[in-house]
Amino acid sequence: MLKKKAKKTVKRVAKKPAAKKAPKKTAARKKPARKLDLLDQKRADLAGPGVGTYEEVEKILPTDYRPLLPPLQRMDALFAVKEYIEKNLCRELNLHMVQVPLIVERESGVNDYLDRDGSRTPVEFPCGLGISPRINAQIVQAATKWKRLALAQFGCKVGEGICTDMRAVRKDYFLDHDHSSYVDQWDWEKVITAEDRNLDYLKDTVRKIWKVIVGAAHLVQEKFPALRTDKYPPIPEELMFIHAEEILERYPDLPRKQRETRLLQEVAPAVFIIGIGYPLKDGLPHEMRAADYDDWITDTSHWTGKETHGLNGDILVWNPVTRRRHELTSMGIRVTKETLVKQLKMAGQEHFLKLPYHQAIMNDRVPLSIGGGIGQSRTYMYLLRTASLGEVSVTVWPKVLKEMCAKRNIIFLE
């Protein structure tokens, strides 16, 4: 009896301290967990375009869509826009249309990796019969780096540049109604001086590009009156310039895409977001940006009057058809050899400095430049008031996406 009672007493004593400590441990874990939830949401939103699941896509597809132009007429309108933009972009920025590669050698370092986390990799294949070893070829994801080398090849002078009708493949995309693995861009690049490496020069270039896009909207609506409709507001004549830090100040508790959406809904329907790639005050960049083309590390505080970095940015618009944020172009003043080293170090990619492209920058074999890529199909989609990229370009799409879009009168070109 005594032994049994002693055992029970021991058990009760052992339990009491544990019962007292448990609530403290639980309470201590709760606060950081909430912070991590927000931080994880922001991190997840840094890279990788697209919605993420087709259940989510189905929720956001427009329910009242009717195409304004039939397919063949839409193609006529598309090529009218293409001709206008190529001609006027070259005139406004003093560019020449040139040929551009679809395939580059892996070892050149010329291919665009789009971000710096390694999540989006190019399509690779060996080519060249009768040679050993065969060429390690990659399909370009963009011509961003090639263009800067091409400026030297074509002998462009200061204030002169090139424009390309670029095609690419980006296999690591979630495919939805406004993200495709097939990419078409007006990839352009222009020689500048060291004195041009400032925010005023960047903004002036952006205004010229926007002027061309607005001009294309006026032209195509004049040629195809069906595009003039009260259902959608007109294309904005002016762009708003705003730094990524200022957007974070407005919406500190929102992930990047939600910040952009609120900005376009509440502040301005067309914006140029400056400073993409450098960590903001919350410790994260607005979006992941590759470390070896755009300059996102240069301190711009003396121009903005607040703590800011970056000589690059994106044009985003509110798309009234999809009722979503809609990116048209990424662009920026390019890295110098000093900022290239700093950015690669921040990205943990200093080994890239051994590659031919990076060596060309380090040894002053390429000029200082500004450049960008304007999405062709994304611009057609915006100006021709379509609800999907599949209505203005022909590529591969998942069956599940085509079927759910067809139920909403969004018919893809096959």
Residues 346-379: pLDDT tens digits? 999 999 999 999 999 999 999 999 999 999 999 9
Q: Is 170 labeled as catalytic in the residue annotation?
A: yes
Q: Which residues of the chain have pLDDT under 70?
A: 1-39, 41, 44-51, 115-118
User: How many residues belong to the chain?
Assistant: 414
Domain limits of the chain? 95-406
Catalytic residue from among 74, 120, 170, 259? 170
Q: Is 314 labeled as catalytic in the residue annotation?
A: yes
CA-based angle 201:204:205, to the nearest 5? 90
Task: Quick: pLDDT tens for 40-58.
Answer: 767 766 655 656 899 999 9
Catalytic residue from among 327, 334, 369, 391? 327
Determine the 3-state secondary structure of 197 from DSSP. coil
Is 270:240 a contact under the CB 8 Å cutoff? yes
Q: Which residues contact 364 (CB under 8 A, 6 or more apart)?
A: 337
Catalytic residue from among 245, 314, 325, 369? 314
Is 229:109 a contact under the CB 8 Å cutoff? no
What span, in angstroms and rounded, lies between the C-alpha atoms of 177 and 184?
Answer: 16
Buried residues in 235-264 as b, exposed as e (16+ CB within 10 A): bbeebebbbbbbbbeebeebbbbebbbebb
| pLDDT reported for residue 6 | 40
What span, in angstroms and rounded, lies between the C-alpha atoms of 134 and 126?
Answer: 6
| pLDDT reported for residue 231 | 95
Angle in degrees, 0-180, between the axes of helices 376-383 and 71-93, rounded to the nearest 10: 120
Alpha helices in 154-269 (DSSP H): 199-223, 244-250, 256-266
Cβ atoms within 10 A of the Cβ of 372, count?
A: 26
Beta strands in 112-236 (DSSP E): 124-127, 135-139, 161-169, 182-191
Catalytic residue from among 180, 221, 330, 369? 330
Catalytic residue from among 180, 185, 377, 388? 185
Q: Is 112 labeled as catalytic in the residue annotation?
A: yes
Is 319:267 a contact under the CB 8 Å cutoff? no
| pLDDT reported for residue 12 | 42
User: What are 410's two structure tokens?
Assistant: 């969004």
User: What are 52's two structure tokens?
Assistant: 């993420």
Catalytic residue from among 45, 112, 115, 176? 112
| pLDDT reported for residue 20 | 43
C-alpha closest to that of 389 among 71, 176, 80: 176
* The architecture CATH gives domain 95-406: 2-Layer Sandwich (3.30)
What span, in angstroms and rounded, lies between the C-alpha atoms of 382 and 357?
Answer: 34
DSSP labels, 65-114: ---SS-HHHHHHHHHHHHHHHHHHHHHHHTEEEE---SEEEGGGT-S--S
Look at the alpha carbons of 286, 289, 291, 292 in this order and tell me if their dihedral is positive or negative. negative
Q: Is 12 labeled as catalytic in the residue annotation?
A: no
What span, in angstroms and rounded, lies between the C-alpha atoms of 245 and 167?
Answer: 33
What span, in angstroms and rounded, lies between the C-alpha atoms of 255 and 270?
Answer: 19
| pLDDT reported for residue 7 | 40
Helix, strand, coil percent values for the chain (each to nearest 5):
45, 20, 40
Q: Is 377 labeled as catalytic in the residue annotation?
A: no
Cβ atoms within 10 A of the Cβ of 49, count?
A: 19
Q: Is 258 labeled as catalytic in the residue annotation?
A: no
User: What are 294's two structure tokens?
Assistant: 């755009």
| pLDDT reported for residue 110 | 87
Strand 95-98 relative to strand 161-169, pairing = parallel
Half-sphere exposure of 146 (CA within 13 A, CB side): 23
Question: Is 386 exposed, middle or buried, given 0-12, 13-18 or 19+ CB atoms closer than 10 A?
Answer: buried
